């Protein structure tokens, strides 16, 4: 999903910020507090999931977001070298350099011949073919990478996606809207809504918890004015339905659903918020798309936090916000809050041990 500039510029905390804060507090401090942004990585599988999302929710954006190619004309490390070269050009000439160069300068050979030192830097950054002479490597990039370089220039700021993935995404979207279960539930999405239902496409949501401003951008929701109910949806692509279930726990999708549920409550007072739903689209398993719905207890657990079976405490989004406020107040970012207090992390397993046999009764929870 591409966020609006207004949403991106808003400094409020998003669910992805919470995920970064939990997984890597140093990275969170660097990106969110100091404002040092990492370069965006556009992997093919990421583009496929976003393309399916775009076809379903905002089909008119397809041509402005994606650039379709029959093949990439470069593979493996060579493609990495040319991607790095493209990045170096943006850094050297500015982010708008693609729009500013003339048609003559778009000539593939001319662009690649502009600065061989820059090509050399891209090669060295990827340690490409270190057993070859540098002149040989530069020539190879100029000759065999020419078509891919031209595609990058023509694509500009759009996502590049292969023709196979383009066709696969459209097939998956069609299958979904014709599915006997999902298709019926998403009739409003297919028809654009009716007198009583409105489709909210990528609604930007803003809220507050304690002293922290929050934000989120939902994939889509169906607003039913007759029943005063909001039905939230988030689309997820996964290799299989089983992989989604694994990803649900690994990537804390439950916390995402609970976080969005709170924002919807704050943005639509007077409306009932239906249990959060994931529209799961298998990309490799030939399975049909299915809906996964969070129970009320699941939403509560990921809001307030819960203890796992092996004794670890899984923090809800509220607890993470409270931790975040502490770090901001004391301006300590080298370790997590619990580590400053205890100076260690305790490792646990599912093993059951008689407490009477333990030397230390107190254990650190994190």
Give the pLDDT confidence of 297-339 residue by residue, as tens digits. Answer: 999 999 999 998 878 899 999 999 999 999 999 999 999 999 9
Q: Tell me the average confidence (pLDDT) per consecutive run of 10 residues in the chain, 366 residues long.
A: 80 96 96 83 64 86 82 84 87 69 51 76 94 93 85 82 88 87 82 80 96 96 94 93 96 97 98 97 89 97 92 94 98 96 87 74 49
Q: Is residue 2 part of a domain?
A: no
Q: What is the CATH number of the domain that holds 276?
A: 3.90.320.10
State how many domains the chain has. 2
Are residues 155 and 264 part of one domain? no
pTM of the complete model: 0.81
Are residues 322 and 238 part of one domain? yes
- β-strands 229-238, 220-224: how paired? antiparallel
Q: Is residue 20 part of a domain?
A: no
pLDDT at site 222: 93
pLDDT at site 175: 86
Tokens of 54: 């775009």
pLDDT at site 364: 47
pLDDT at site 104: 44
pLDDT at site 10: 93
Are residues 303 and 239 part of one domain? yes
Query: What secondary structure letter does DSSP report for 59?
Result: G
Residues 262-276 pLDDT 10s: 999 999 999 999 999
Contact yes or no for 81/122 (Cβ under 8 A): yes
CA distances from 344 to 51, 115, 187, 248, 324 (A): 44, 51, 53, 28, 19
Are residues 336 and 254 part of one domain? yes
CA distances from 84 to 111, 282, 325 (A): 14, 31, 37
Map residue 156 onto helix, strand or coil: coil
pLDDT at site 113: 61
pLDDT at site 366: 43
Domain of residue 160, residue span: 41-165
């Amino acid at each position: 999903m591409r966020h609006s500039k207004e949403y991106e510029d808003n400094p409020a905390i998003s669910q992805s910020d919470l995920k970064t804060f939990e997984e890597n507090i140093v990275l969170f401090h660097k990106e969110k507090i100091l404002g040092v942004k990492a370069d965006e990585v556009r992997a093919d599988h990421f583009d496929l999931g976003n393309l399916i999302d775009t076809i379903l929710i905002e089909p008119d954006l397809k041509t402005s977001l994606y650039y379709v190619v029959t093949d990439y004309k470069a593979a493996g490390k060579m493609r990495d070298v040319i991607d790095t070269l493209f990045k170096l050009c943006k850094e050297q000439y500015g982010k708008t350099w693609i729009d500013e160069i003339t048609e003559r300068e778009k000539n593939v050979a001319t662009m690649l011949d502009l600065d061989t030192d820059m090509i050399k830097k891209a090669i060295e950054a990827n340690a490409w073919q270190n057993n070859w002479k540098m002149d040989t490597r530069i020539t190879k990039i100029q000759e065999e990478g020419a078509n891919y370089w031209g595609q990058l220039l023509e694509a500009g700021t759009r996502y590049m996606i292969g023709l196979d993935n383009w066709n696969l995404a459209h097939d998956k979207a069609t299958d979904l809207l014709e599915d006997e279960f999902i298709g019926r539930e998403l009739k409003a999405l297919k028809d654009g809504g009716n007198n009583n239902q409105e489709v909210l496409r990528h609604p930007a949501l803003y809220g507050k918890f304690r002293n922290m401003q929050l934000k989120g951008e939902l994939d889509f929701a169906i607003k039913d004015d007759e029943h005063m109910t909001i039905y939230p949806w988030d689309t997820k692509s996964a290799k299989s339905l089983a992989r989604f279930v694994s990803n649900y726990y690994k990537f804390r999708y439950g916390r995402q659903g609970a976080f969005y549920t709170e924002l919807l409550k704050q943005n639509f007072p007077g409306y009932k918020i239906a249990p959060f739903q994931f529209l799961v689209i298998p990309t490799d398993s030939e399975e049909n798309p299915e809906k996964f719905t969070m129970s009320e207890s699941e939403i509560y657990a990921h809001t307030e936090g819960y203890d796992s079976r092996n004794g670890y405490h899984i923090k809800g989004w509220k607890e993470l916000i409270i931790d975040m406020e502490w770090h901001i107040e004391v301006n300590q970012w080298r370790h997590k809050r619990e580590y400053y207090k205890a100076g260690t992390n305790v490792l646990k397993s599912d093993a059951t041990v008689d407490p009477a046999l333990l030397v230390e009764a107190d254990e650190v929870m994190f």
